[in-house]
Chain A
Amino acid sequence: MEDILNIFVKSIFIDNMIFAYFLGMCSYLAVSKTVPTATGLGIAVIFVLGITVPVNYLIENFLLKKGALDWILGASAAEIDLSFLSFIMFIAVIASMVQLVEMVVEKFAPALYSELGIFLPLIAVNCAILGGALFMQEREYTSIAEATSFALGSGLGWFLAIVGIAAIREKIRYSNVPAPLRGLGITFIVTGLMGIAFMSFMGIKL
C-alpha cells in the first residue's frame, strides 16, 4: 500500500510528465491558451492514461514478455519473447481505446463529451499516453495496482502542468513581452521556470 501511494505522489511531482520528461509537449503548447480548454484536455488525459496503462500492463505481462505465454501454451512457451512487438501493440491499444472511450462517453455522458469534443481523438497521438505505457514497461512495475497508480499520478501531474501554464498565459497577455519572444518563446521560458520550481520536490519519500 505504501508503495502504491509512493508511486502515485512520485509520478505527480518528481517524475512529472511535462517538467521531467517533456512528454505531451505538442498539445501542451497548442491547447494552453485558456484555462477551460486546458482543463478539458487535462481531464481527458487522466482518463485515457488511467485506462490504457493498465490494459497495456496486462498485454505486456500476459502476452509479450519472455515466458509470458506460459499460462496458455504451458512450459513449451518459456522461450517465446514477443517484446519487440510492444510498440505496435501499445499504439494499437491506445488508438482503439481512445475510439472506444469516445463512443462510451458520447453515449453515457453527453455533457462531458461536448466538453472534451475535439480533444479525445487528438489524445491518440499525445506522447504522454504512449510514454506512460513505455515507462510502465521500462520500470517493470510488479502489480497492476502499481501500474494504475503510476498512470493516474502521471495524468494528474500533466493536468496540473497544463492548467498552470494556461492560467499564466492568460495573464501574460497583459504584459509587455519582447516582440520576438511573444507566444511560443515566452511559453517555453515560463515552462522552464515552472520546471525548476517542480525540481524542489526532488527526494520526497513517503
Chain B
Amino acid sequence: MSTKNLKLLSDPINLNNPITVQVLGICSALAVTVKLEPAVVLSISVLFVLAFANVIISVLRNTIPSRIRIIVQLVVIAALVILVDQVLKAYSYEVSKQLSVFVGLIITNCIIMGRLEAFALGNKPWPSFLDGVGNSAGYAIILIIIAFFRELLGSGTLWGIQVIPDSFYEMGYTNNGFMILPPMALIVVAIIIWVQRSKSRELIEAN
C-alpha cells in the first residue's frame, strides 16, 4: 500500500476527523452514545454504508449527470441503509430497537454525503474505498470514546457488564445519572475537542 493510500486511512482518524474537525455527522454521534453496544453497532453500519457508497459512486462517477447527482447519491445510500436496517432487524432486534430512527438517519448523515461529494466523485474506486473506511474509522473512534465515558460514569457498566466493584458503591459512590442525559453528550464532545486541539494547535479556530 502506497503512502498516499495510507494517508487516506490515517488522516481522518486525527487531523481531519469527520466529527471534531470537519463537523459532519454530529446528529447520530450524540444520540446513540449512552451505551457502548449501540455506538459500536452504528459505527459498523456507517462503515459498511460509507465504504460501499463511496465505491459505487466512484464507479459511476463518469456516467452520473452532475445535475441529478444528489438524487442518485441519495438513492444509492438509501438502498444500502435499507440493507443494513433489514439485517439488524433480523439478527439483533434489541439493538435495532435501541437505535430506533438513527439507522434510517444514516441516509442523511452528512459524513456520507460529504465524502461522496468531496472524494468519490473525483477518484478511483480503490482510493474511495479506503477514504470511506478511514472516515468511518475516525467517526467510530469518537463515538466509542464518548460511549465509553458515558456508560462508565453514567451506569457503571461497560458493554452491559458491571465494572465498578460493589465495594465502591458501599463506600458511597453513586453513578452520575447526569451522564445518561442528552446534554452531557455535547459536553463530552466539547472536552474531546478541547483535548485534541490543545495537542494539535494548528486546528485552533480564529474565533
Contact = CB atoms under 8 A, between A and B. Distances in A.
B81 A87 contact: yes
Contacts of B30: 22, 25
Given A29-B26, A179-B204, A181-B194, A130 B107 contact: yes
Contact of B105 (A30, A134, A173, A194): A134
A3 interface: no
B206 A130 contact: no
Given A131-B101, A185-B190, A22 B198 contact: no
A181 B185 contact: no
Contact of B186 (A91, A92, A189): A189
Contacts, number: 142
B198 A29 contact: no
Interface in A158-187: 173, 177-186
Interface string A69-106: 00000000000000011111011100100000000000
B70 interface: yes
Contact of B197 (A29, A131, A173, A180): A180
Contacts of A24: 27
A19 B186 CA distance: 10
A124 B71 CA distance: 10
B150 to A, nearest CB: 13
On chain B, which size bracket covers the interface?
Answer: 35 or more
Given A26-B24, A196-B183, A127 B198 contact: no
B181 A199 contact: yes
Interface string B170-201: 00000000000111111101100110111001
Contacts of A195: 182-183, 186
Contacts of A181: 190, 193-194, 197
On chain A, which size bracket covers the interface?
Answer: 35 or more
B75 interface: yes
Contacts of A201: none
B190 A188 contact: yes
A199 B183 contact: yes
B141 interface: no
A24 B23 CA distance: 12
A184 B82 contact: no
Interface stretch (B53-61, B108-116, B121-129, B155-163): B108-116
A127 B105 contact: yes
B71 A127 contact: no
B207 A138 contact: no
A112 interface: no
Interface of A: 19-26, 29-30, 84-88, 90-92, 95, 124-127, 129-131, 134-135, 138, 173, 177-186, 188-189, 191-196, 199
20 contacts: A22-B26, A25-B27, A90-B104, A92-B71, A95-B74, A127-B108, A130-B108, A131-B105, A134-B105, A179-B201, A180-B198, A180-B201, A180-B204, A181-B193, A181-B197, A183-B205, A184-B193, A192-B184, A192-B186, A192-B190
Interface of B: 20, 23-28, 30-31, 70-71, 74-75, 78-79, 81-82, 85-86, 100-101, 104-105, 107-110, 113, 181-187, 189-190, 193-194, 196-198, 201, 204-207
